[in-house]
Structures are given as C-alpha cells and as structure tokens.
Amino acid sequence: MSSKMHPINGLLGLIFPVNCTACGDESSWLCENCFKKLPLTRFDICVICHKATVENNLCSNCQKNLGLDGVVTLYGYDLEPIRSIIKLSKYSKQHDAVRFISENNRLEAWLRLPKGRWHLAPIPLHPKKLKKRGYNQAEIIAKALSQKDHPVVNILSRVKETKDQASLSHEKREANVTGCFEVKKNIPEDVIMIDDVITTGSTLKEASIALRNAGAKRIWAITLAHG
C-alpha cells in the first residue's frame, strides 16, 4: 500500500470536498486512517472458489477455466467503503472515487505481478452504455494503475450488448457475456485486463478467449475487488 496517500484531486478536492466512505469525515473518499485499516486480499486464496492456492489468487482449476495466468484483486467487495466507492463510480458519476483508490494501490498491485512487458487492457463497455454513462470506469482504473513502461491499450471492443452482470444469477452470467468481445487490432503478448470487480470471472473469461485467439501469450487481470 502506498506510504503517502494521493490527494483526492488537487484543486478539485478543495472546490468539491467529499466525505470518507468509511467514517464520514470530510477528507477524501477514504481518509488516511480508514484507508490503512482496510484489509488487503490475501494472494494465496482463490477469489473464485475460495480454496487455498499457492499463488496468483486462482487455484489451478479456476485458472484453467478462466484462461488466466493469474489475478491481482485488492479488496473484498463485502467491505462497505470499497463497495460504496465502486457504486459511486459506476452509478453516480463519481469516477474520481475509483481513480483515488486505484492510485493509492498502484504500488501494491505491481508488487503482486510477475515481471513482463505488460500492457493494460480495460474491459470495455458497449457503445450504448458508454454513451449513456459518459466514461468507462475500467479505463479510469487502468490509467491510474499504468506506468511508463506499462501503457493502457484499448484493444478490446464489446460487440454484444449485455445485461448488467450484477443483476444476474451466477448460472446466467456466463451465457450473458458469451461472444461479447472482439480484439480491435494486433495485441502484445503480455496483457493485463482491468476491471472493477471479479465475481464468477465470466466477463474476464470471455475477454481472455478473444485475447488468446488473437495471439496473447500471458494474460493476467487486475480488479479492485472480488465478490
């Protein structure tokens, strides 16, 4: 975790102050004290089936099923401040909240990743949803996590309009996203997909299929939270 917290948004934070989503004090989306208290997810537990695993936040069965080499996921979605930040970003146009939590976990995320010539690929919204929302929270997360040698690349496109995964049962999520992604151009061999939450992994699985078919060799994912 970062030793020094990033300001909410510089001058913007002074003009439009916000309250900590944990204690309610006027500060940032999370005040420094509450931020330090949030427990980070252990990387030796599978975030899909919750079995003990050696590393990478995926057991061998879930790793094979999702087509991922590993996942970095930082917090449990059951943590109220994290759930509030993600919902504010997705549904209330407070996308600075998700940028804030991403910037303050950039170091932690990269410490959990293997070395590579990584490119960050945000999970895209369908054009209709993007037009309605005005931004893609996954792209905001990706830009906040990116580094000089690890740029953001918008290589995925969502060609099928899908229902909100959160509204569906686990059984219906995979069918909802089947065939919904295409790769827009030549891709790097080392790709990190970026999304806000991983629950069943259905969305990341479909995206990884498209990336593998297009030539990606190593595919990881970073999410802020897991269900």
Fold (topology level) of 40-226 = Rossmann fold (3.40.50)
For residue 220, pLDDT beyond 90: yes
Question: In angstroms, rounded to a whole number, what is the distance separating the alpha carbons of residues 99 and 95?
Answer: 7
Question: In angstroms, rounded to a whole number, what is the distance separating the alpha carbons of residues 210 and 213?
Answer: 5
* Band of pLDDT at residue 185, cut at 50, 70 and 90: confident
Whether the pTM exceeds 0.85: the reply is: yes
Reported as a single tens digit per residue, the pLDDT across 130-178 is: 999 999 999 999 999 999 999 999 999 999 887 777 767 767 887 878 8
